[in-house]
Each structure stands twice: as structure tokens, then as C-alpha cells.
Amino acid sequence: MALKPRIAESPQVRLIDLKSKPFFIVASVEVGNTTTKSILTATNMDTGRTHIINKVVRMTRDVRPPKPGEDVFGKTLTGVELTREAVAELVKSTLAESMEKANLDIKTDLNFVVRSTGVVAGFDSPEEVGEFIKALADGCLMAGVPPKNMTPPMSISNITKKLQKYSKLEKVIFDGAVASVTPPIGSTGVEIVANEMEGELATAGIKEAAKLTDVDFRNPCISIDFGTTLDGRITSPDQPYAKTIGNFCGFAGAIPDAIIRGSKVVDSKVGTALEVFEKQKPPSFITLKMKAKTIEDYSRRIHELIIIEKVPRDRKRYGSVPVRPDAAEELGVTLIGCDVGENGSYMGKLSAIGMEICKSHGLSIVYAVIDEVMAGVVCRLIEVAKKEGLIFEDSTIGITGRAGITGNKPKLILSCLEKMNLAPKIDERVVFVDDGLARGAAVMARCMNSLGTPQNPLGGRHGGKCILAQRIKIQEK
């Protein structure tokens, strides 16, 4: 029986429906290391289904350079300098463009904005992330977003009239749990790993997108987000709220980027795999078969440079992401990291191998090697989680992000997970999702507004019912 990847893709939605039906419209504004995106989502409160209205994607490296007198508070992984003002302008124009494209009014049609960043890898301390989040807020305000659309409502009267009847705000308040998972202690979790919030959003987004497939992706689950940097969480089977018992951090899409930079097809400093493979056709089945040994050999050589392990206690950074493994341990969270050498010290070696593959075999084999390498990364991450006792008999796995769902990766990931004997019919437990982060932003906004769909719950355990009643009990105490 061939394994069939479950890939969740979003159905289209018409403007007339957005205006007339009970849609909750959320913008997810994300400044990442590679791309800056504004993704508009609309959740139909009758069905609980989220549609992606549109996405505007820009390259983060195109942010304007710092002006005299502006403070540089961080850099992207490729060294592009960022100031609060420049980031705010980038956010403003990206958000405004996506609203215009959708023919929606930022003041009256948009219900909520969730902002996040993946650029934290280049920062010196988790605290600097706060400065960045403020820059994102500045940009949203400059674009015309009312401030009330960026914070949880204090009462039901702060929610748009047409959505009030769907809000459970009078029964339960937002207590920090998103899609029934509590973050590691502290309201943010950034005390442990700088991109915890991204892991939180990706997990919630995969839960929501899995509703478009036959995978029940409720707790316990493992979510892995392969943007430029790696993030994600492992959750426990507890009820009504699962705990975060694991976090992923380190490099993800930065690995294929480094390989492709050796090929001279992209800029050797800030080029990305994204630019190449949008135009490049994946290798044919015949090519893959004929070159299987070559692909395997290169993949093995690359894996020798990639370290995947439980993050050692003495590390302050892992895969360039600020971490506090000691704090994580005290809170019962296992940090699992992916590094290339130490904090990327072997990235140059990856580029050299990329150059060699390209010269000897051409771009289509580079493509195939990258698919093979990233599938191997997924399986090695899961292996560490298994060894650390973080996988339960009913754990499901969700994967999102460009370096985990493009090309032939879903098939390769399933076949290597099958060999690990995690569970029978492994393909029924694994879901691949586009834009997990943006979908997660829509879920986060719903949680903040207590906009639940008990008939189609995101929270609770596999096969279980909605946890609203249990939550009400807890909060009454």
C-alpha cells in the first residue's frame, strides 16, 4: 500500500460571502528571516473552517537600510540590519497591500491582527524580541488598524455585533491557552527559547488545517515548522489543557538555503532556496531512480554536518537561536535542536557540497538532495523526541513551513517515519499544512475573543469532545 500524504489546502472564499456571512477576518503579520508576509484569513463561525483570502509576501532583505539616528536592534540570519522604524514601514506597506488586494477596509472589515516574528535567531537576548514586537505594532497602527483589534477584548461589547453571538466570553475568558495547550510558564515562553510564540502559532494552525483532512490533530501532538529557523512544540495528553513538554529550535530552511548558495544561481550571501525552486521543476521519477545512489551519498555527507540532539545545558544559543536549556529543564520542557556545526559554523561546508552537486549533476539533483536531507531532518527530530519519551501511542505529527512541505518531501518523510514503526498506518497520523503560522494567528485571535465552535472543536484529545464545560469549571474556581 502506497502511503498517501495528507496535505491541507485552503478553499477559496468570495468577497460577497465575506461581507454577508459571519466571517471572523484576521491578518497575520509576520516578519521572518527570509520573507515578510501579511496573510489574511477568514473563519466562518458557523462551520469553524478557515479560508485563506490572500497573502502578500516580500523579501525581508528588501527592508530599507537604517537612517541616521535610528538604532539597529537586530539582524536577520543573513545579516540584514533592522531598526524599529524600518520594520514598521515594511509591515505597514505589506498589510495595506493585502487589504487593498482583498477589497476590504482596514478599519471596518478587519476584526483582528496577530503579529509575530522569526527573526529572533539573530538577536542577543530573548528580551530584544519585545522591541521587535513593538515595531510590528507600530507598523499595524500606521496602516490604520484600530488598537482594540490587537488586544483581547475586555467584554463582549468590544466584539463586532455580527460575531457577538458566537463568543463564549461571558462563560470563559482567555487564559493564555491557545487551542487547549498551555505555554511553558510565563506568558510567552520566550524565557526558554526565543521563538516559542512561533511554535505556539504553528501548532494551533496545524490543528485548524487538519480539519480539512481526515487527521484528528488534537492533543497529544508534535508540530514542526520548517521556516528559515526551526520551531514547534510537543504536547502532552493532559485534559482539558495539554502541557508543552517539548520545543524545537535551530536551523530548518536555512539548510537548503546554504546548499543552494553554493550553486551560484542565487546571491552567495542572502540567496534562498525559495527563489530557485519556484522556477525549477522537480526531478522526474526516472532521474530519481537512476541517480538514487548519488542522491543518497550526498545526503549522507550533508547529514554528517547536521547535529540533531537534546540541547545541552550549557548552550546560550543553539542553531543561532537564543535558548535557556537550564530554565527549560526546570519547567519540564525538553529542547530539541538542529544545528550545522556550532551555531551554523559548517554552513560554508554545506555551500561547498551544493556547488559540487550543481557542477557535477545540475540543479535537479540539488533539488532531490535537499528533499532527501530535509526528510532526514524530520525523522531525526522525531527520533530524539521518541528517545526522550515525548511520543505517546496516539501522538500525531504535523509539518508546516517551506522546507518541510514542498517538492517530494511529504512522501519521503512518510516513508522514513514508517520505517521507525511509530504506529500502524502512519500516513493517517501525519498532516502537511501550508501557512501553519498564519492559520495559527487566526486561531489565536479566536481564542482571545473566546470565539469557539464547540460542534467542531480544536481543543481536547483525539476523538474526544469539546472541553468548554471543563474550562468553565476550572475558571469558576
pLDDT level of residue 125 (50, 70, 90 thresholds) = low
- Mean pLDDT, to the nearest integer, of 250-254? 93
What is the separation of C-alpha 91 from the centre of its chain, rounded to a whole number of angstroms?
Answer: 18
pLDDT level of residue 249 (50, 70, 90 thresholds) = very high
Strands (E) across 151-273 are located at 181-182, 221-226, 229-235, 242-251
pLDDT at 124 over 70: no
pLDDT level of residue 122 (50, 70, 90 thresholds) = low
**19 or 251, which is more confident:** 251
> How do residues 197-223 score in pLDDT, each as one tens digit?
888 889 999 998 998 888 889 889 999
Strands (E) across 324-391 are located at 334-340
> How do residues 98-120 score in pLDDT, each as one tens digit?
999 999 999 999 999 998 877 76
**160 or 187, which is more confident:** 160
pLDDT at 127 over 70: no
- Mean pLDDT, to the nearest integer, of 136-152? 92
> How do residues 48-58 score in pLDDT, each as one tens digit?
888 889 999 99
**What is the residue whose three cell numbers read 500524504?**
5
pLDDT at 9 over 70: yes
pLDDT level of residue 144 (50, 70, 90 thresholds) = very high
**Residue 84 half-sphere exposure, CB side, CA atoms within 13 Å?**
14
- Helix (H) or strand (E) segment spanning residue 402: helix 402-405
pLDDT at 104: 92
> How do residues 266-288 score in pLDDT, each as one tens digit?
776 767 777 777 666 777 778 87
pLDDT at 463: 75
**Hey, is 264 helix, strand or coil?**
coil
* Residue 451: φ, ψ to 5°: -95, 90
pLDDT at 273: 73
pLDDT at 212: 86
pLDDT at 126 over 80: no
- Give the C-alpha separation, 66 to 331, whole Å: 39
Residues near 272 by beta carbon (within 8 Å), at least 6 away in sequence = 34, 228, 253, 257, 260, 266
pLDDT level of residue 187 (50, 70, 90 thresholds) = very low
> How do residues 227-237 score in pLDDT, each as one tens digit?
889 999 999 99
pTM of the predicted model as reported, rounded to 2 decimal places:
0.88
pLDDT at 190 over 60: no
